[in-house]
Amino acid sequence: MTQSFRIRLYQMDAVVGDFDANLQKIARAADQARADGISMLVVPELALTGYPPEDLLLRPALIDKLTAADLMLQEISRDLTLCVGAPSAAAAAISDWALGNNSARPASLLNSLLIYRNGEHILSYHKQSLPNYQVFDERRYFVAGTQSMVCDLDGLRVGLLVCEDVWVPDIVEATCRLGADLILVVNASPFAEGKFDERLDHLKHRASVNQVPIAYVNLVGGQDELIFDGGSLVVDRNGEIIAQATFFAEDRLDVVWDGQHLIGDRVEHTPSDDALLYQALVTGVRDYFSKTGFRKAVLGLSGGIDSALTLAVAVDALGADNVHAVMMPYLYTADISVTDAKRQAEILGCEFSIVPIEPMVREFMQTLAPFFDGHPVDTTEENLQSRCRGVLLMALSNKTGALVLTTGNKSEMAVGYATLYGDMAGGFAVLKDVWKTRVYDLARFVNRATEVIPERVIVRPPSAELAPGQEDSDSLPPYDRLDTMLSLYIESDVSPDEIIDAGFDPVEVKRMCRLVDINEYKRRQSAVGPRVTVRGFGRDRRYPIANRWSF
């Protein structure tokens, strides 16, 4: 074989459902690869359709689209080996379609790595391990492949895997037994805090145990609540990193097979945990807007830390000219809250408005007075304030076309410390999966070089300012303790008794767990938001609203 075989991993951002744009992007990458003397171009899992395509895979027109795309990919692969992640239809499905059976079963689809060379489709590898946990639901759409496979490219034997396959030791070992010189893995692996280190440790272990280099190309970009961080990498047969791409941006990572070894010469810096999390949120906002057609955002800026962080993320994602911050003070809003909100908007250079809600709240209260007569003042009056703010923001959204960003964090959403049709009203919940303790970490990260969020916003005791002298600590335990309890209960499925045994107050634990359970109905109505922990309040949490499960 040729002693120098150049491989390019194209860390690609694919738009779900946009076959034409994704094919054009692959074609441009192929043109550049040919110009650069690349032998093989590799794009991520399901790069043709974007990931996850969900029930678009059930559409009757899918097989026609796949057939047309296959012909285009053959043309794109002239003078090149092209490896593309895409759905493929089993022979039975294609036969049914040819006979006019529009109800060809989706179970006939496979999650495949398609290999094209010099204008021909030469090989198809089908993913063997279909994940069906957390955010993954692949068995709804695909049947599993059953055969390990290598592709012989002029004597270079490339073992083929798709994402979850590399996490199954038996599949990796079976591929190596076929004589693979290297393993190629195409992936759509979503971001969560700590996920990159977990991936890296696993790849290092699999490579060293099997004494085979592994090239791992990952998807990048935001898709609804999922965020793909890229970070594509290559490890040698001893598990040492020889190449690593950047994070949260499209990138091209080149390595060379010299006849015996893979050689790489670029290893990008891995950012800090705070930097990765912040960039994940920015990517989630930016891509949700760009892929849904929204350009501008509007949000309530309260002078508190959650809205302050949300504003910083929005400006970094969309640009200051596309963000409108609205302060909506009431009788209980501290003067310093107005001052700090205005100051942050000035620092960031975004549009800022002050709209007092006292006249609206007063009108509501007068209208409702006959119905409230004889009832004590409670959270109803507090929620009216929040709902007036929600009405204002939604009206601005309807009139201007700006999408409302909600500002609540995961700690609040967990225990229902939020108002339906009030501060929960909006189109995208930026901090939905960010614990309050991490909100503070990220605020300090934002201020690492210069003050973006006024320091007083970070150090003040948190408050919804819905009642005189109100602080979050009146209703909730300190956030460091609360977040630990909630993380154990929500993300690790630890029972209340086990949390108590770990040293937490029994009354506090049982109250917090009960609040989590009874507020499922509220979270189900919340806006979609970026998933950044191992278990968010979205695709990977499916608890029934009406149930009688007890601790």
Give the end-to-end CA distance of the chain in Å, rounded to a whole number: 64
Average pLDDT in the 533-550 region? Answer: 89
Q: What predicted TM-score, i.e. pTM, was given to this entire model?
A: 0.93
Active site residues: 45, 127, 163
Tens of pLDDT, residues 284-327 = 999 999 999 999 999 999 999 999 999 999 999 999 999 999 99
Residue 476 token pair:
């909730």
Residue 505 token pair:
């107050």
Spatial distance between the Cα atoms of 135 and 122, rounded to a whole number of angstroms: 32
pLDDT value at position 108? 84
Tens of pLDDT, residues 509-528 = 999 999 999 999 999 999 99
pLDDT value at position 470? 76
Residue 428 Cα distances to 157, 424, 518, angstroms = 46, 10, 23
Tens of pLDDT, residues 399-417 = 999 999 999 999 999 999 9
Neighbours of 315 (CB within 10 A): 24
What is the identity of the amino acid at 42?
Answer: V
Residue 228: beta bridge partners?
A: 190, 221
pLDDT value at position 464? 75
The confidence band for 95, taking pLDDT boundaries of 50, 70 and 90, is: very low
User: What are the DSSP calls for 493-541, one per residue?
Assistant: ---HHHHHHTT--HHHHHHHHHHHHHTHHHHHTSPP----SSS-SSTT-
Number of helices and strands (H, E) in the chain?
17, 21
What is the Cα gyration radius of the chain? 26
Residue closest to 409 by CA, chosen among 532, 282, 319: 532
Spatial distance between the Cα atoms of 231 and 249, rounded to a whole number of angstroms: 9
Residue 491 token pair:
């993300």
Q: Which domains does the chain have, with CATH numbers?
A: 5-270 (3.60.110.10), 276-476 (3.40.50.620)
